[in-house]
Amino acid sequence: MDNTLIPISFFLLVFGLVYLFLSIRNKERLALIEKGVDASIFMKGNRNTATVARIIILNVALLLMGIGIGVSVALFLSYYTGLRPAPLILAATFTMAGLGLLIGFYLTKKMDKKAS
Report the distance separating Cα 34 and Cα 18, nearest Å. 24
**Digit-coded pLDDT (tens) for 16-65:** 999 999 999 899 888 888 888 876 777 765 555 557 888 899 999 999 99
pTM reported for the whole predicted model: 0.57
Describe the chain by its helix, strand, coil percentages, rounded to 5.
90, 0, 10
**Digit-coded pLDDT (tens) for 56-110:** 999 999 999 999 999 999 999 999 998 888 999 999 999 999 999 999 999 988 8
Mean pLDDT in residue range 7-16: 92
